[in-house]
Structure 1
Amino acid sequence: MADKIQATVGSVMIRVLLVSSLGLAIVVLGIIRSSWAEVVSPEPSDLLIQPTSSELSELSEPPTPPEPSTQSVPVQIINVQVTSTSDGLQLRLQTSDRATLQPTRMQTGNQVIVDIPNAQLQGQMREDAWRQENLTPEITAIEVIQLDANTVRVTVTGTTTAPMVEWTIDSQGLLLSVIPVVNDAAEALEPPVSPPVSPPDASSDASPTVPPPSPNAIRIIVTGDQETYRVSESSVGTRTDTDILDVPQSIQVIPDEVIEDQGIRSLGDVARNTAGVSTGRISSDSLATEFVIRGFPTENILRNGLRDTTQQFASSIDNVEQIEVLRGPASVLFGQGSLGGTVNLVTEEPLEAPAYSLEYAGGQFNLYRPAIDFSSPFSPVSPLGYRFNATYENSGSFRDFEDSSYLFLAPTVTLIDTDNTNLIADLEYLRFQSSGTAPELPASGTVVDNPNGELDRTVNLGEPSLSESDSVITRLSYRLEHRFNANWRIRNEFLAAFSEVSLNRGVIPVELLSDQRTLRRVITENPSNLSNYTLNTNLIGQFATGIFDHELLVGVELFRDTQRDTIDIINVATIDIFDPEYSGSALNLLERQDTRTFRNSVGIYLQDQISFSDHLILVLGGRFDFVNLEFENLLRAEDNFASEEQAFSPRIGIVYKPEETISLYASYTRSFEPVVGREQLFDSDNNQIILGDPFEPERGTQYEVGIKADLFDERLSVTLALYQLERTNVTTTGPDSSFSRVQVGEQRSQGVELNVVGEILPGWNLLASYAYTDARITDDNQYEIGNRLPNAPEHAASLWTTYEIQSGTLQGLGLGFGLFFQSERVGDLNNSFRLPSYLRTDAALFYRRDRFRASLNLQNLFDVEYYTGSRDNTDVRVVVGAPLTISGQISWEF
């Protein structure tokens, strides 16, 4: 009776939350409507505010730096651009988030000085400044420097007189309009001699609006973007764009610069740069992805912070700005998922100035890969714009007979962009086709000695004429943010993702016979359909209670996932692994499976980041999840079941900062992950299996402590973490029969991780990591306690560094060098075989000047034979690493 009441209460709560979310969506639509009216129907007075004569020359005395801002975290200026207009110039200072800046303007002689408190330049700009000279006949120079630790100064120098400088603040940062003043006008506006006037109040909201450029203006972009690997902020740790130093968990961000320098074309290949992360059971060069993080397999892949279960089937990084890796449980923010960690893909957005890029890559194994990246406002005076990424790739493989191709299209549109509201919508279309796909290789003959010899890593033990696939992935999403004021904002985000695998036929190895050369195989035909919908709404607010500052996050997330999976298992002739002869035909049908799975969940989450002082931050969070799971076996109705689960996932973290650039942290967090299936109990009296209750969710618990530091004037970031993870409710065999299934298994992982990233000297970037991972079985009825978990190396390390010449005739020429190491790993839970350790060396040569870039990448420079993982807890599915692979790439921006 109690179970029925609990289930009824859960269903009622889900319905109430759905209705509440619909109401919230109506409010959001109201915001969109009012904001759109604001964009398309501006008042004439909003388009142009004429400055008064007193505003043109405010001070005659040398300026003094403004008082520091009370804002706790300095705003990061990540890019500087200057644009030509019919009236003069526009200077864009792009920030890392939608932070509110409070600049002040001063004038001395022929110079106008704008000081921006509580701001910092990123990368090389912080050391060498940003300067452009002889921009127009009336403007001699513009310079952007780091005046002190938290103040950025912009100096605009006129040829004979000071120009007019006004500004606006929008979603991308600070936009300054620089308008030359001719001599006659300057004389007419010259103020009488009088005592100096105080600079305008930085807190005033009366900043003039920049006059819009002429529709016929020619826009010339001079970019101050610096190539750097260090990223200071991430949303994956708190959903609030918090400085990584202030998050009590280990986070690593891989920016697009690393992906470009290493010539990476797949999400799996990014894993080699992150401590404690590997690809395990799936080849790293595949579009399909599954990571092993801190010893545990995970499919937690987010797209712009929203869960996307289609990413495991095919994922493109062609429109990705950066990849964020959160190690450890993330259920407190993102709901159900594996305890090992979470990967978040942050995609590119439209740029505020026109930028067009053409790219072509080619290389070994018949690789050719053209791509475009176009972005522009819809008109010279419009804040709205688009971005369009398109890629086509066709490639063979080092494995015999393998070929694949994919087409990727990704349009993105800014629909609203005002001071208070921003709305971006995007679409992704990915079609992937393959033929002749080779299965994995047996352990015997690769990582284990075989009396018949050693297998060639290029051999294809499948059926090349029968293996083929065709799949289409479509994703649609929008991201809406509205600021009520400087302290409160609301976000509403939606993602719909669909995977349609119309054809998926391939060979799976089953068993290597006693002669150690005859492989038994089956063919699987596995068409499938998957759709998932995610709607997330949260409110973020900053306020104070007494002397304590709070950043509050409260939100609701709705998620629906539907999957249809059909599998035909067909017999096929055996094959000699040392002398393969292909049969070219399948035999009899062995088994058919046809299932549907429905999953609906509602999550309510709350988080408070409490700053007791500049040195102490407490992070408290919790999330309630209500999950309905239905499973249908369309061929065996007795297997059908439905379940309702509730879970609470807390997080408690504390950050102590003895200095502004150093933080010590400790945290406790939990996770949960629903398990599809039911208990199978053995009835010894009747010698049969009895189906029991649906499985409970797996639970995870993590304890973590660490230290983070930004060193050498914040050019280099270091993170050291120690952790212990415990996984419970693992499915294993029952104590009385190998055919029974129960949830009594437990596993544990503990280890140490070190990450170092940044710019050591101008042009010299470094990305290094080390991980010690001890992942083992701690309780199980089937496997020996103390056995290591598969695909989890005890030691793993990586080093990638590049140097680019900064001046002279060879300016823009660069070199890259990388080392990637993994120690010995076990291949299955029985620990029956091991994958040997390996050290792989990569290198790169590149040249970039102005808008042109060319690069040459060599992966596995010394052609080392190595193995990246094993699959499905068997000794006949070992994943082989690629041999020496050479590829080149050229790109041109215009």
Structure 2
Amino acid sequence: MSFQTSFKFSRIGLAVVAALASSTSFAEEVIADSNAVIDTNIERITVTGRSFNDYNVGSSSGAMRGDIDILDTPQSVTVIPDFVTDEQLATNLGEVLVNDSSVTGGSEKWNRQVFNIRGFELSSGSGFLINGQQQWSHYVQPIETLQQVEVLKGPSSMLYGQSGPGGLINMVSKKPTAETMFDFGFDTDEHGSTRFQIDAGGSLNESETIRYRTVLVKQDTQYWREYQDGSNQERDRWLGYLNLEFDITDDLLLSVKYDHTQDKTGIDTGGWLDSSGDLIGGSDIIWDQPWAFTDNTITNMGADLTYHISDSWQVKAGYNDQQFNRQRLDSSPQYSETAMTDGYTIKPFDRYDDWQHKTGYVDFTGNFYTGDVEHQLLVGANMLDYYYGQLKDSYVSEGGDNFIPVTPGTPIDRPDLDYNNDSTKYESEYKHYGFYVQDLVTITDEWQVLAGVRYDEQKKDGDGNNSYAVSPKFGVIYSPAANGSIYVNYSKSFTPQGIVNDPNDINDKMNLDPEYGEQYEIGTKWELFDGSLLLTGAVFDITVSNVTVTEDLSTPVGDDTQITTQSGEQRHKGFEMGAQGQISDKWFMTSSMMYLDAEYIRPESDGLNGMTPVDAPEWSANIWTRYEMTDDLALNFGAIYVGERFASTDNTITKDSYVRFDMGAAYTMDVMGSDVSVRMNVKNLFDVDYLAGGSYKDVTVGEGRHVSLSLEAKF
């Protein structure tokens, strides 16, 4: 197979306009030929002016692969609407997910973000969904195109295949609108960062059978930490997004999506902690060299087709092609606890990565009765075609090693590296198929039962390690009142593993079985104040088996000095509570908290037995509120608490707990018939020093007091 690349667009705006114009022309012809009319059966989402109380979202599309009421979902789910994150002036997914305390951040090096749900790290390949389809998320996800973010907690393999035991992040895209809308946004901060946004939608013909939504973003970010030549890390990002909907016939809806991201930033792998947990060299030093960068180009093209067979039955199919190309010129600083006194080394390389992520699905859903018993049936299949290729040129000194010594405060010149000059090439690919059946059975007004099962098959080229799995899910919902429910569930996840690849291991070349996660959860959900406030609570117990363990042999066997087995386990248990919605006529809030007890269960001879994973705090909590002083003026207050966490797997280095307070204010006015809002937010109001996610080698250093300003105009 030849190494594949994708074309980089240099004019995002022109690309979006061209796509819009060509698609519009085509769709007009299709509609004219079919004499289509507007169909009331086709699901249409119209976005109008957002009200101040839009904190509580009543349904989740990802938890059940359909818009099912949260009270009818036997699973813990948090839905974070864009209304809340717009108030917070969030610029990335990490700033969105602070609204759910079950999610904790990890490392942010290489211009990507790592997250943990219930203490389990999310995989870049299987932990993130866009509208229910797997998304390769090895970069900072754009949030300007999202209507809401859903945190699906616990194993979700029954619906989505390979995934971790902690849960999934499902990002729901903004939909086209029938009514014309045009929003312009601008925000800046004390460092001189800027972000311009345009969000537009409407109908392209009088009958409103062709609708669109487009988003354009230009962002230039200046970060506060400094390279050793005195310069700051910078980021330059372009984003273009287009979503078109066509009412092909009375019962047939076609949605076509396209987005393109170009994102280049300097590299900051994070701070280094010494054995006492203190920052080496202070809070603002970047160990990477100022010439290091990562340059991401991501394109998604996809389509969804919905056909309403009848009022009760429909078929929905979709496909997405994601092309992700990255150049990473990395100085690769090597951790040293004595870096400030004895210096440290870097290990430069220039690397090109090509990821191709093709996904597809077919879902058949319907409602029917057997006697007095109602069924909501889902039968479906999905697939993933994954390809990865890499070229790499590594630095080699005259002496033959890969290291360059560095004296702190003295930058090193950029080495002569170019991945195009290197003939080495690495490729990997696999295909994944899954088939699933799920039935939500309403027995009476008080009792519902959910049962589902899935079969998965993954075929991986090269090592021949094919994986097969059966993932069941079972839940029971009891509704003692119309506004509340109590549920229990059992679910299972699986994560395929590779092979043992170590010539000094007695089990070298052994195929590893998948890791399996099992969860038992009991929870409750209540809607108060006529449904304006949602209260939730859940107790969970998750155990992962078949965890890989590598140990030294007490007596070497020939050249074999260690042995790898799958004798390990990992157990996370705890409880969560949350509140989201309206408290009074003028007061609104979203908040959550989690208690977590996480540990490795491994052979006594293994050094990790009984240890707690990195970035798994025992306690975490958050709150964000809005209080309307007048019809035009609103104040916000927020707080985030993260408990003490370990920064090393052997639990010898810790990061202290912290509380961060945030405040904000917004004023809305009428300017020539348009709504114009001005907002000021202050993060870390009391300038607290804190450490966020990451290990002792790549910890994210929390920024001090940070002031942001924004302007939004709606036409």
Tell me the TM-score normalized by structure 2.
0.87
Note closer, same or farther for the CA distance 1:567–1:867 as it changes in structure 2 (3 Å cut): farther
- Once the two structures are TM-superposed, the CA of residue 226 in structure 1 deviates from its matched residue by 5.0
Matches for 1:303-382 after TM superposition, within 5 Å = 303-309=130-136, 311-382=137-208
Residue aligning to 2:388: 563
Q: CA deviation at 1:801?
A: 0.4
> Which is worse superposed, 876-885 or 702-711?
876-885
Displacement of 1:694: 2.2
Within-5 A mapping of 1:261-280: 261-280=87-106
| Percent of aligned pairs sharing the same letter | 25
Please say if 1:40 is aligned against 2:32. Answer: yes
* CA distance 1:869–1:319, shift in 2 (3 Å): same
What is the distance in 2 between the residues matched to 1:879 and 1:822?
Answer: 14
Deviation at 1:741, TM superposition (A): 3.6
**Local SS of the residue matching 2:449:** strand
Partner of residue 527, structure 1: 352
CA contact (8 A) 2:473 2:489 kept: yes
* TM-aligned CA distance change 1:550 to 1:588, over 3 Å: closer
Among 224, 228, 233, the alignment partner of 2:54 is 228
2:426 is the alignment partner of 1:595: yes
Cα deviation digits, residues 751-778 of structure 1 (max 9, x gap): 1111110011223210111000111001
Deviation at 1:223?
4.5
1:501 paired to 2:326: yes
Contact 2:498/2:512 (<8 A) preserved = yes
Structure 2 counterpart of 1:727, one-letter code: V
Letter in 1 for 2:487: Y
| Alignment correspondent of 1:765 | 588
Change (3 A) 1:796 1:420: same
Aligned equivalents of 1:222 and 1:338: distance in 2?
37
Match of residue 583, structure 1, among 385, 404, 412: 412
Is the 1:845–1:857 Cα contact (8 Å) retained in structure 2?
A: yes
Of residues 286, 289, 292, the one that matches 2:113 is 289
Residue 449 and residue 893 in structure 1: after superposition, are their counterparts in 2 closer, same or farther (change >3 A)?
closer
Q: Does structure 1 retain, via aligned residues, the 8 Å contact 2:272–2:335?
A: no
Greater mean deviation of Cα atoms: 764-773 or 455-464: 455-464
1:783–1:829: 8 Å Cα contact kept in structure 2? no
> CA shift at 1:359, angstroms?
1.1
* Secondary structure at the counterpart of residue 444 of structure 1: coil
Question: What's the CA shift for 1:796?
Answer: 0.2
Confirm or deny: 8 A CA contact 1:302 1:343 kept in the other structure. Answer: yes
Equivalent residue for 1:707, pick from 491, 501, 524: 524
- For 1:301, give the aligned amino acid: F
Deviation string 1:76-96 (CA, Å, 9 cap, x unpaired) is: xxxxxxxxxxxxxxxxxxxxx
Instruction: Output the amino acid matched with 2:274.
Output: S
1:785/1:346 Cα in 2 relative to 1: closer, same or farther (>3 Å)?
same
- CA contact 1:753–1:769 (8 Å) conserved in 2: yes
- Aligned partner of 2:458 in structure 1 is 627
Task: Give the 3 Å change call, closer, same or farther, for CA 568–728 of structure 1 in structure 2.
Answer: farther
Equivalent residue in structure 1 for 2:307, among 482, 501, 507: 482
Partners of 2:470 and 2:96 in 1: CA distance: 32
Aligned counterparts of 2:389 and 2:340: Cα–Cα separation in 1: 39
* Secondary structure, aligned partner of 1:870: coil
**Equivalent residue letter for 2:710:** Q
Instruction: Tell me the residue number matched to 2:662.
Output: 842
1:332 aligned counterpart, secondary structure: helix
Instruction: Give the secondary-structure state (helix, strand or coil) at the position aligned to 2:332.
Output: strand
The root-mean-square deviation of aligned C-alpha atoms, in Å, is: 2.6
- Count the aligned residue pairs: 661
Instruction: Please name the residue that 2:15 is paired with.
Output: none
Residue of structure 1 equivalent to 2:465:
643
Match of 1:128 in 2: none
Instruction: Give the deviation of 1:419 after TM superposition.
Output: 4.5
Match of 1:141 in 2: none
Per the alignment, residue 566 of structure 2 pairs with: 743
What is the CA-CA distance between 1:449 and the residue it aligns to?
4.7
Residues 428 and 761 of structure 1: CA distance in aligned 2, closer, same or farther (over 3 Å): same
Separation (CA, whole Å) in 2 of partners of 1:715 and 1:480: 33
- Residues in 2 aligned to 1:340 and 1:779: alpha-carbon distance in whole angstroms: 19
Q: Tell me, what secondary structure is at the counterpart of 1:678? A: coil
Q: 1:419-434 counterparts in 2 under 5 A? A: 419-434=250-265
1:301 aligns with 2:293: no
Q: 365, 370, 375: which is aligned to 1:540?
A: 365
Q: Conserved in 2, the CA contact under 8 Å of 1:512 and 1:518?
A: no
Answer whether contact 1:287 1:316 (CA < 8 A) is retained: no
**Counterpart Cα distance in 1 of 2:222 and 2:478:** 52
Q: Is the 8 A contact 1:171 1:418 kept in 2?
A: no
Quote the residue 2:337 is aligned against.
512
Q: What is the aligned counterpart of 1:444 among 274, 283, 293?
A: 274
Contact 2:617 2:645 in 1 (8 A): yes
Q: How does 1:157-236 map to 2 (within 5 A)?
A: 171-172=43-44, 223=49, 225=51, 227-236=53-62
CA distance in 2, matches of 1:587, 1:836: 41
Structure 2 gap segments, 5+ residues each: 1-26, 227-231, 396-401, 554-559
In structure 2, how many angstroms separate the alpha carbons of the residues matched to 1:344 and 1:624?
22
- Counterpart position of 2:285: 459
Q: Does 2:613 correspond to 1:775?
A: no
Q: 1:525: Cα distance to partner?
A: 2.7
Q: Distance in 2 between matches of 1:738 and 1:709?
A: 57
Q: Of 497, 501, 510, which aligns to 1:675?
A: 497
* C-alpha deviation, 1:572, in angstroms: 4.1
1:220-275 Cα offsets, whole Å, 9 max, x none, are x9847554110010111111211111111100000011110101010111121102
What SS class does the counterpart of residue 625 from structure 1 fall into? Answer: strand
Give the direction of change, closer, same or farther, for the CA distance of 1:677–1:396 in structure 2 (3 Å limit). Answer: farther
Q: Which residue is equivalent to 2:642?
A: 822
1:658 maps onto 2:461 in alignment: no
SS in 1 for 2:700: strand
Partner of 1:416: 247
**Conserved in 2, the CA contact under 8 Å of 1:674 and 1:696?**
yes
Deviations 1:589-648 (A, max 9, x none): 9x99853221101100000000001111100011100100124xxxxxxxxx12211100
Partner of 1:206: none
1:369 and 1:273 map into 2 onto residues whose CA distance is 22
After TM superposition, the score normalised by the length of structure 1 is 0.70
1:690 CA drift (Å): 6.0
Superposed CA deviations along residues 815-839 of structure 1, whole A, max 9, x for unmatched, are: 1111101110011211120011111
**Is the 2:500–2:507 contact (alpha carbons within 8 Å) kept by the matching residues of 1?**
no
Q: Relative to structure 1, is the Cα distance of residues 568 and 695 closer, same or farther in structure 2, using a 3 angstrom cutoff?
A: farther
Determine which of 637, 652, 656 is the counterpart of 1:832: 652
CA change 1:329–1:860 in 2 (3 A) is same
Partner of 2:81: 255
What is the match of residue 703 of structure 2?
882
Helix, strand or coil: the match of 1:754? strand
**Distance between the aligned counterparts of 1:593 and 1:867, measured in 2?**
39
With over 3 angstroms needed to count, the CA separation of the structure-2 counterparts of 1:169 and 1:333, relative to structure 1, is closer
What is the CA-CA distance between 1:749 and the residue it aligns to?
Answer: 0.4
Cα 1:593–1:848, aligned 2, differ >3 Å: closer, same or farther? farther
> CA-to-partner distance for each residue in 1:7-42, whole Å, 9 max, x for gaps?
xxxxxxxxxxxxxxxxxxxxxxxxxxxx99984346
The SS at the match of 1:538 is: strand
Shift, 1:552, TM fit: 0.4
Question: Of 415, 435, 439, which aligns to 1:604?
Answer: 435
| Counterpart amino acid of residue 344 in structure 2 | L
CA contact (8 A) 2:669 2:676 kept: yes
- Which whole-Å CA distance do the structure 1 matches of 2:503 and 2:543 have between them? 26
Distance in 2 between residues matched to 1:173 and 1:515, nearest whole Å: 57
User: Deviations 1:716-766 (Å, cap 9, x if unpaired)?
Assistant: 101101001111222221341775543222111001111110011223210
- Letter paired with 1:674: P
What residue identity is the alignment partner of 2:272? P
User: Does residue 792 of the first structure (1) align with residue 593 of the second (2)?
Assistant: no
**Bigger Cα Rg:** 1
1:439 to partner: Cα distance? 2.5
